[in-house]
Amino acid sequence: MKYVSTRGEAAGRGFAGILLEGLAPDGGLYVPERYPRVDAAMLAAWRRLSYPDLAFAVMSLFIDDIPAADLRALVEKSYRAEVFGGDARIAPLRALEPGVFVLGLSNGPTLAFKDVAMQFLGHAFEYELGRRGGTLDVLGATSGDTGSAAEHALKGKRGIEVFMLSPLGRMSPFQQAQMFSLQDANIHNIAIEGVFDDCQDLVKAVSADLEFKRAHSIGTVNSINWARLLAQVVYYFAGWFQATRSDDELVDFAVPTGNFGNICAGHVARSMGLPIRRLLLATNENDVLDEFFRSGVYRVRSAAETHETSSPSMDISKASNFERFVFDALGRNAARTRALFAEVEARRVFAFDAGERARIGAFGFVSGRSTAADRLATIADVHRRFGEIIDPHTADALKVARDHAEPATPVIVLETALAAKFNDTIRAAIGSDAPRPARLAGLEALPRRFTTMPADVVRLKAFIAENDRR
Ligand X SMILES: *Cc1c(COP(=O)(O)O)cnc(C)c1O
Residues 6+ apart with CB under 8 A from 434: 389, 391, 418, 419, 420, 422, 423, 426
In angstroms, rounded to a whole number, what is the distance separating the alpha carbons of residues 108 and 106?
6
330 φ, ψ to 5°? Answer: -90, 20
- Residue 419 identity: A
Active site residue 318: no
Cβ nearer to ligand X, comparing 258 with 410: 258
Measured from the CB atom, the residue of 253 and 260 that comes closer to ligand X is 260
CB of 276 to ligand X, least distance (A): 17
**Cβ-based nearer residue to ligand X, 112 or 412:** 112
Q: Which residue's CB comes closest to ligand X?
A: 261
Distances (CA, A) of 464 to 368, 458, 460, 461, 469: 42, 10, 6, 5, 9
Q: For strand 297-299 and strand 349-351, is the pairing parallel, antiparallel, or unpaired?
A: antiparallel
Query: Which residues sit opposite 225 in a β-bridge?
Result: none
Q: How far is the CB of 392 from ligand X (least distance, A)?
A: 8
Q: Taking Cα atoms as reference points, which of 391, 450, 402, 1 lies closest to residue 189?
A: 450
d(CA 52, CA 56): 6
State the nearest-atom distance from the C-beta of 432 to ligand X, in Å.
21
CB of 328 to ligand X, least distance (A): 17
Of 166 and 223, which has the nearer Cβ to ligand X?
A: 223
Query: Which of the following is catalytic: 77, 114, 318, 461?
Result: 114
Closest CA to 316 of 287, 343, 344, 290: 287
Q: Which of 85, 81, 71 minimizes the C-alpha distance to 16?
A: 71
Residue 52 or 266 having the CB closest to ligand X: 266
Specify the residue, 217 or 306, whose C-beta has the smaller distance to ligand X: 306
Does residue 26 sit in helix, strand or coil?
A: coil
Contact 164, 147 (CB under 8 A): yes
**Start-to-end C-alpha separation, the chain:** 34
Q: How far is the CB of 3 from ligand X (least distance, A)?
A: 20
Name which of 297, 229, 244 is nearest 101 in CA terms.
244
Residue 413 CB, shortest distance to ligand X, in Å, is: 12
Give the binding site for ligand X (CB under 6 A).
Answer: 112, 114, 145, 223, 256-262, 313-314, 393, 416-417
Which residues are part of the catalytic machinery?
Answer: 114
